[in-house]
Chain A
Amino acid sequence: DIQMTQSPSSLSASVGDRVTITCRASQSISSYLNWYQQKPGKAPKLLIYAASSLQSGVPSRFSGSGSGTDFTLTISSLQPEDFATYYCQQSYSTPVTFGPGTKVDIK
C-alpha cells in the first residue's frame, strides 16, 4: 500500500493568512493526488484533483502543486469558511489511501 503523510497535523492561522499544507507519498504517484476539505459533521468535499486541477465551484484561492512524491495545498488568503480539516488522497493505485489530515483552526 502507498502510505500518505501530511504536515503539519494542525495549524493555527488568521483570516487573510497564506496557508500551505504538505503531503508526501511513500512512492511516486505521478500526479494522482487529490485534496479534500472536511468540516465537522459533513462529508469531505473535493477541492483539487490531479495535483493541481481546481474542482468546479471551488474558489481560486485554493491551489495545488507537486508531482511524484511531494505535494502542496495552498490557500492564498484564508477565509472564515476555510477553517476545516484537509486530507490528501492518492488515486494512483488500489487500495486508494488518504493522509491523516491537517486541521486548520483560528489563531
Chain B
Amino acid sequence: QLQLQESGPGLVKPSETLSLTCTVSGGSISSSSYYWGWIRQPPGKGLEWIGSIYYSGSTYYNPSLKSRVTISVDTSKNQFSLKLSSVTAADTAVYYCARPSMATSDAFDIWGQGTMVTVSS
C-alpha cells in the first residue's frame, strides 16, 4: 500500500528557505502514471496547491508562488522535495505531499499526514 511521509524543519526564520521532503513507500516514484504534488493549508484556512512534479522532472507550479518554489525528485531515494524561498509569516501552514492520479481524473488520491511549518524568528 502506497504511503507518503513528509519530513523537514518545523520552524523556519523569515526570509530563509523552507525545505521539505516527501518519502514514498510501498511503490515506486518512477511510475509513469503519476505526478507527485505539494499542497498547503494555513491554520484554520483552506487548501492551496503549490505544485507538482513528474518522475522525469517535469514541473508545474502555482503562478502565485512560482517565483519562490522549486520542486525536485530523487528517484534513487524514492523522494521528492519542496523548497520555498524568502518565506514570511504568510507561509506558515501545514504542508502536505499528495499524489494526483490519472486513474482518478487527477484527483489527489493519496496524501501524507502533513507537517506543520511555522515561520517565525
Q: A: which residues have CB within 8 A of B?
A: 1, 31-32, 34, 36, 42-46, 49-50, 53, 55, 87, 89, 91, 94-101
Range class of the B interface residue count:
20 to 34
The answer to the question of B32 belonging to the interface, with a C-beta cut-off of 8 Å to chain A, is no
Q: Kindly list chain A residues whose C-beta atoms are within 8 Å of the C-beta of B113.
A: 42-43
- In-complex Cβ contact of A55 among B61, B64, B106, B109 (8 A): B109
Q: B: which residues have CB within 8 A of A?
A: 46-49, 52, 60-64, 96, 98, 100, 104-109, 111-114
Given contacts A50-B107, A89-B47, 14 further A-B contacts (CB under 8 A): A1-B63, A42-B113, A43-B112, A43-B113, A43-B114, A44-B47, A44-B111, A46-B108, A49-B109, A55-B104, A55-B109, A91-B107, A95-B64, A96-B106
In whole angstroms, what is the CA distance A91 to B60 when docked?
13
B119 to chain A, nearest CB (A): 20
- In-complex Cβ contact of A98 among B49, B64, B100, B114 (8 A): B49
Q: Kindly list chain B residues whose C-beta atoms are within 8 Å of the C-beta of A98.
A: 46-49
Smallest CB gap from B49: residue in A: A96
Smallest CB gap from A85: residue in B: B46
Smallest CB gap from A98: residue in B: B47
